[in-house]
Chains A and B, each alone.
Chain A
Amino acid sequence: AQKVTQAQTEISVVEKEDVTLDCVYETRDTTYYLFWYKQPPSGELVFLIRRNSFDEQNEISGRYSWNFQKSTSSFNFTITASQVVDSAVYFCALRRWTDKLIFGTGTRLQVFP
């Protein structure tokens, strides 16, 4: 079965704190893709990153970084020096060899000034 678990339903931090959003996935496939999306209060889904199962290299993009560990089936997302504009719901998602995305339940991040 394919499944994505985001155990943190809601996280609150104060601006400039670092925060890590957890994502654990389940799949029997050897080839798959992992995604993170941001959904701000306006509702649209903003693509953040895609990682394929053969690429375990961690990635950093500005204040964002992602830690992919196949050994623990995790794809965690860290925001460094959080800002109020980071407040949103963040979704982790899994895609198999088809194009269907399986989403986690999302983590609502609130960053307070």
Chain B
Amino acid sequence: SAVISQKPSRDICQRGTSLTIQCQVDSQVTMMFWYRQQPGQSLTLIATANQGSEATYESGFVIDKFPISRPNLTFSTLTVSNMSPEDSSIYLCSARGGEKLFFGSGTQLSVL
């Protein structure tokens, strides 16, 4: 199994600012993903973080708003840019370990 550390665990940010969320996996993984969980909602895939190349974004999500980096097989970052209150959500990193998909503990973001 893979252990995923995500930080910060929570943050309160001002409108118009940006926040970078870090995700560290304790072993090399082929696939890493970023999900968003809006209050009381299910999880929605934002993008697949590709090692050494640009992330693959899902419909409704764009690189300018959610730039993602993945410099190696164990680390990725997600930036939420120019935040608005609508960005208040839990952001979760996940990684594929074998046939299982593991998740970090999430970053609870509140935008004022």
Contacts and interface: CB of A to CB of B under 8 A. Distances in A.
B41 interface: yes
A63 interface: no
B108 A50 contact: no
Interface residues of B, number: 22
A99 B92 contact: no
B63 interface: no
A23 B42 CA distance: 14
B73 interface: no
B19 interface: no
B8 to A, nearest CB: 13
Interface residues of A, number: 18
Contacts of A99: 31, 33, 48, 96, 101
B75 interface: no
B108 A43 contact: yes
Contacts, number: 47
Contacts of B66: none
Contacts of A60: none
B31 to A, nearest CB: 5
Nearest to A105: B42
A50 B105 contact: no
Interface string A81-113: 000000000010001000111011110000000
Nearest to A104: B42
B100 to A, nearest CB: 6
Interface of A: 33, 35, 37, 42-45, 47, 50, 91, 95, 99-101, 103-106
13 contacts: A35-B101, A37-B103, A44-B104, A44-B106, A45-B92, A47-B101, A50-B99, A99-B96, A100-B58, A101-B33, A101-B94, A105-B41, A106-B42
